[in-house]
A and B are shown apart, each in its own frame.
Chain A
Amino acid sequence: KAGVTQTPRYLIKTRGQQVTLSCSPISGHRSVSWYQQTPGQGLQFLFEYFSETQRNKGNFPGRFSGRQFSNSRSEMNVSTLELGDSALYLCASSPGQAFAKNIQYFGAGTRLSVL
């Protein structure tokens, strides 16, 4: 079974631009979660999508948004980039059903640098 795939692996953007990151979950997984990792804040939850609906949201500004498609693939978008958005963005997938163990499997991440 293929793992979680994130594209692109690296991105360089300038302040004020916007960026879209993509995530393909493990086949059969319907839940996709996004996390931001920075040296200062560690791993922080952004949001989770299940069956094309946002089910949970972390404490991030509205510049951070996401969506999920019918094939469970997900994208996250960051608008009006700030220097502080430089981070490793991680996507994780899991079956997502209430009766299933909440083991999330992570992709390799997208390293975003904002200049």
Chain B
Amino acid sequence: DQQVKQNSPSLSVQEGRISILNCDYTNSMFDYFLWYKKYPAEGPTFLISISSIKDKNEDGRFTVFLNKSAKHLSLHIVPSQPGDSAVYFCAASEKGAQKLVFGQGTRLTINP
């Protein structure tokens, strides 16, 4: 039972354009959501997070949007840069719990 789903295994975007990565969840008890970026042979690096009481959080080029009624969140990267090429994971946790439930990841490729 996959509680967090990233339905696009890969995404290719031109440098300078917007990258939009999507994530859906099924567990209504999730109240905190995070995005991580991962390069091969490295651990995931935290990018940005959002609490369920908000619908948007912004940090520089990265913005996360949360639609609780649709159980959907998305990560926007503007403008996309070659260094953004990596695998992006969406993760979620229940209130007070340290356990993160991860999606399967989306491989983002930024083309020059």
Query: By the criterion CB–CB under 8 Å, are A43 and B98 in contact?
Result: no
B residues 23-40 touching A (CB-CB < 8 Å): 32, 34, 36
**Which chain A residues numbered 30 to 49 have a C-beta less than 8 Å away from chain B?**
31, 33, 35, 42-45, 48
Residue A104, interface by CB 8 Å? yes
Report A-chain residues with C-beta under 8 Å of the C-beta of B80: none
The residue on A at minimum CB distance from B96 is A98
User: Is the CB of B93 closer than 8 A to any CB of chain A?
Assistant: yes
Partner of A105, one of B46, B51, B96: B46
Complex interface: chain B residues within 8 A of A6 (CB): 43
Whether B99 pairs with A58 at a CB distance below 8 angstroms is yes
B residues near A96, Cβ cutoff 8 Å? 98
Please indicate the chain A residues that have their CB under 8 angstroms from the CB of B91 in the complex.
43
Instruction: List chain A positions with a Cβ less than 8 A from chain B.
Output: 4, 6, 31, 33, 35, 42-45, 48, 50, 55-56, 58, 90, 92, 94, 96, 98, 101-109, 111
Interface size class of B (residues with CB under 8 A): 20 to 34
Interface residues of B (CB under 8 A from A): 32, 34, 36, 41-46, 49, 51, 89, 91, 93, 96-105
Report the Cα distance A83→B91, complex, angstroms. Answer: 27
Partner of A43 from the list B32, B93, B102 (CB cut-off 8 Å) is: B102
Let me know if A101 and B49 touch, CB within 8 A: yes
B104 touches A107 (CB 8 A): no
Q: A42-B105, A43-B102, A104-B34 are in contact. List 13 more A-B contacts (CB 8 A).
A: A6-B43, A31-B98, A33-B100, A42-B102, A48-B98, A48-B99, A50-B98, A56-B97, A90-B43, A103-B46, A104-B100, A106-B36, A106-B44
